[in-house]
């Protein structure tokens, strides 16, 4: 696989005569793909297949007793998530123009996990919210705390959100909304 340096000079396909590596067209392509997959995931989660997956997550033995093929549902869910992750990887390679073994390492995987948990893993919008939160912290907090302490800050915020709101920032939003609606009803 071309050694440690990987493959370089990978050009994105030319579709409609557009240079997909240019930042603005690539932004709209990535936005379209993310929006399409978001709508697809929301649709799947509300369809009988998605409801079955949620029930399997909660009690796989009960779903097996009800006649659901638990292993097939899990394999299908992994396949769907693999397609989403794979297309994300293709977009990353198109934009960077290269791929190497170090492109996706443990540090990136931990970042993705933190993004999902911080945003809220029970709803597809949580990933977007977590990504916005993470990028804003990455952009502005490094100036305040320094690059060497950034991971410590992320770890502390991650632990605080996990301890106080297991549903992430979306869970905090729901709690605040309920609190404000109760406060408004009592006034």
Considering the domain architecture, whether residues 83 and 10 belong to the same structural domain is answered as yes
pLDDT for 3 equals: 60
Q: Which of 103, 125, 147 is the last residue of a domain?
A: 103
**Would you give the end-to-end CA distance of the chain in angstroms?**
67
Q: Is the dihedral of CA 99, 74, 116, 170 positive or negative?
A: positive
CA–CA gap between residue 86 and residue 16 (Å, rounded): 23
pLDDT for 104 equals: 77
pLDDT for 52 equals: 94
Considering the domain architecture, whether residues 132 and 66 belong to the same structural domain is answered as no
How many independent structural domains does the chain possess? 2
Considering the domain architecture, whether residues 43 and 112 belong to the same structural domain is answered as no
Q: Which of 80, 103, 126 is the last residue of a domain?
A: 103
Ranges of the chain with pLDDT below 50? none
Instruction: Return the closest-CA partner of residue 76 out of 99, 102, 49.
Output: 49
pLDDT for 67 equals: 93
Strands 98-99 and 7-8: antiparallel
Considering the domain architecture, whether residues 123 and 93 belong to the same structural domain is answered as no
Residues for the chain: how many in total? 187
**Which H/E stretch holds residue 8?**
strand 7-8
Instruction: Return the closest-CA partner of residue 122 out of 173, 159, 166.
Output: 166
pLDDT for 163 equals: 87
Give the structural domain span for 175: 105-187
Mean pLDDT of the chain: 87
Q: Which of 103, 131, 163 is the last residue of a domain?
A: 103
pLDDT for 58 equals: 92
Considering the domain architecture, whether residues 98 and 122 belong to the same structural domain is answered as no
């Amino acid at each position: 696989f071309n050694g440690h340096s990987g493959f370089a000079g990978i050009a994105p396909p030319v579709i409609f005569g557009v240079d997909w590596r240019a930042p603005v067209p690539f932004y709209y392509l990535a936005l379209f793909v993310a929006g399409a997959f978001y709508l697809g995931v929301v649709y799947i989660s509300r369809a009988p297949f998605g409801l079955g997956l949620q029930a399997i997550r909660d009690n796989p033995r009960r779903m097996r007793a009800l006649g659901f093929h638990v292993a097939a549902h899990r394999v299908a869910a992994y396949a769907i998530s693999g397609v989403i992750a794979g297309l994300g990887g293709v977009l990353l390679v198109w934009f960077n123009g290269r791929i190497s073994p170090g492109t996706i390492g443990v540090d990136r995987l931990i970042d993705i996990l933190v993004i999902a948990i911080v945003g809220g893993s029970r709803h597809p919008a949580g990933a977007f919210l977590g990504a916005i939160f993470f990028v804003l912290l990455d952009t502005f907090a490094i100036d305040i705390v320094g690059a060497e302490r950034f991971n410590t800050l992320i770890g502390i915020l991650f632990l605080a959100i996990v301890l106080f709101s297991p549903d992430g920032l979306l869970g905090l939003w729901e709690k605040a909304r309920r609190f404000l609606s109760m406060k408004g009803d009592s006034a």
